[in-house]
Amino acid sequence: GNAPPGVDPEAFSWFQTVDTDHSGFISVKELKQALVNNNWSSFNDETCLLMINMFDKTRSGRIDVYGFSALLRFIQQWRSLFQQYDRDQSGSISFSELQQAFSQMGYNLSPQFSQLLLARYAQRSPNPSIQLDRFIHICMQLQSLTDAFREKDTALVGNVRLSYEDFLSMVVTRML
């Protein structure tokens, strides 16, 4: 059939291919099978779940064709940003490229913190680097946690005082 109003025909066509069970919805499993990084590895489960949850307006754990179309636009924007920061065109982002990306995005993060993220999200190798899916994951979490922090940092001074339970509540509501 034809694409519904407001849905890009290419996104509709891809939706029909990705919807392997023909349910009219895309699950995390179907999304994971459809998305690949520059090195042809599948997107990470956590990242797929994060993105499904972001575009799942009904909280059913899956997205319809409208959510899928929006998700494709979202991924394309991130892919384009990723390619900007992948200065050596290697298909992944190195430590120095990650540092530059954070700085250009307005995050004032220490090299130690970037190293921590690299250790957590990069594949183990002599020269660890970040694939597109993990870059999206890191940036979504940074944005979400930054928003949570700013709700508490009303004077915009860069630090807040909060209880352990407030901290846990911030993390749990923003990251899970």
Least confident of 12-16, 20-24, 76-80, 120-124: 120-124
The C-alpha angle 90, 144, 140, rounded to 5 degrees, equals 20
Same domain, 126 and 105: yes
Same domain, 110 and 52: no
3-class state of residue 62 by DSSP: strand
Choosing from 84, 100, 118, the residue where a domain stops is 84
Choosing from 43, 67, 84, the residue where a domain stops is 84
State yes or no: pLDDT of 175 exceeds 80: no
Task: Name the domain count of the chain.
Answer: 2
Same domain, 111 and 145: yes
Choosing from 31, 65, 84, the residue where a domain stops is 84
Same domain, 39 and 114: no
C-alpha span between 138 and 159 (Å, rounded):
21
Which CATH number goes with the domain that contains 145?
A: 1.10.238.10
pLDDT in tens, 129-166: 999 999 999 998 888 888 888 888 988 898 999 999 98
C-alpha span between 116 and 105 (Å, rounded):
18
C-alpha span between 28 and 11 (Å, rounded):
17
Same domain, 71 and 23: yes
Looking at residue 170, what is its pLDDT? 84
The range of the structural domain enclosing residue 140 comes to: 88-175
Looking at residue 101, what is its pLDDT? 93
Question: Which phi and psi angles does 93 have, rounded to 5°?
Answer: -110, 125
Same domain, 66 and 106: no
C-alpha span between 106 and 101 (Å, rounded):
9
Helix 132-152 / helix 65-85 crossing angle, nearest 10 deg: 100
pLDDT in tens, 38-91: 888 889 999 999 899 889 988 899 999 999 999 999 999 999 999 999 999 999
Average pLDDT of span 86-108: 92
Looking at residue 176, what is its pLDDT? 52
Contact criterion met (CB below 8 Å) for 70 and 103: no
- Helix (H), strand (E) counts: the chain: 8, 2
